[in-house]
Amino acid sequence: MHSHKKSPLVWFSHITVLLLVVLWTIPTFGLLVTSLRDKDQIVASGWWTSLATSTQNLIYRAPGAEGQTEEGGLYVITGNALDGAGGKVSRFGTTSLRPTEFEAGETADMGDGQELTVESDGEFRMTSPEPFGKRGQRIFVTAKIPPRFTLENYRNVLTSEGIGQSFLNSLTVAIPSTIIPVLVAAYAAYALSWMKFPFRNLLLAVIVGLLVVPLQMSLIPLLKMYNWIGDIFGVPSKTYVGIWLAHMGFGLPLAIYLLRNYIAGLPREIMESARVDGANDFMIFRKIILPLSYPALASFAIFQFLWTWNDLLVATVFLGNSEQTIVLTARLRELLGSRGGNWEILTASAFISIIVPLIVFFALQRYLVRGLLAGSVKGG
């Protein structure tokens, strides 16, 4: 009997894959947990402490004169400084300079005969010999708050004005921007692999060289060209056709390079037999190359769709942010506010926008590995 021991290389590859999975899963899980937390707890502690009690410094505005009652010659205002959210108050104060001046249960003298008592459960009682003013007193409390999970973050994003239209706009951009480059690159890859014409190798070298050109370098010159063409023909420069062409141009070099490696590895005998039977290049491409290249086409389509769906820069430059054309990523950016500090909106938006790419990935993932490994072994 021969013992089947795995080589060190196999163990190394398995451990590497496991580490990559862990490194990808942990931040994603943290993002999911954060999207379900209360916004105050997101600021107070990290997601890894989401199941533990957190200490928070809260500010509560007590009711004004409209909330007072008269008891025994005193004007009284009562309420809960924690808004009924639960928790345990340890200290409280009446000014921002001394927010933790008093312990829970003590009575604070606010001057002019006014007193404030805050209990550990958040219940407070303010008394005054004179009527309270219209503006309520601020109460600063330090409390230990139990973990709270909510779907309010998702509700705020999904019910925001214009989200539905932005979702459709993103689909209008992403679907053609995926299909057009795939079809153009497939025929170009076939031509570079099996068609004879002058300077074929030089053209392939130029295409490979375009892979290293930064995207940002071409944005402004391309936009100027769009504006120039729009002025000549009297049409708007920022249209869906413009962004489709831009995405096609940015995605073609990588698409041609990947697909060419795959198509060049197909058996030569198939093409030669088709030519003997009278097939031209277009017929060979349509009836032989496309069906055999489906794994490579699907793998690139995944990458192209992910890029165009999550794109913000190219969409902002070539499409703008008008209400009729604004894409989902731009709309979600506007929800973050001018300072970008609304983490609860950011995390919920991330999982809402990831739904469509996940559907595309799982629908085509069985072709992904075969497509990426294409061309590593030559056909007969």
The predicted pLDDT at position 378 comes to 44
What are the backbone dihedrals phi and psi of residue 121, each rounded to the nearest 5 degrees, phi first? Answer: -85, 5
Task: Give me the tens of pLDDT residue by residue for the chain, a chain 380 residues long.
Answer: 455 667 788 888 889 989 988 998 898 898 889 989 888 788 878 888 888 888 888 889 998 888 888 888 889 999 998 886 778 999 999 988 888 999 999 999 888 889 999 999 889 999 999 888 888 889 999 998 888 888 988 888 888 878 888 999 999 999 999 999 999 999 999 999 888 888 888 988 898 888 888 888 888 888 888 888 888 888 777 888 889 988 998 999 999 988 888 888 888 888 888 888 888 888 888 888 888 888 888 888 888 999 999 998 888 888 888 888 889 888 888 877 665 567 788 888 888 888 888 888 888 777 666 655 554 444 43
Quote the CA–CA distance of 229 and 100 in Å, as a whole number.
Answer: 66
Measure the CA dihedral 237/241/246/252, to 10°. -160
The predicted pLDDT at position 379 comes to 44
Q: Does domain 156-372 have CATH number 3.40.50.300?
A: no
The predicted pLDDT at position 176 comes to 94
Domain boundaries, the chain: 8-49, 54-146, 156-372
The predicted pLDDT at position 359 comes to 87
**pTM passes above 0.85:** no
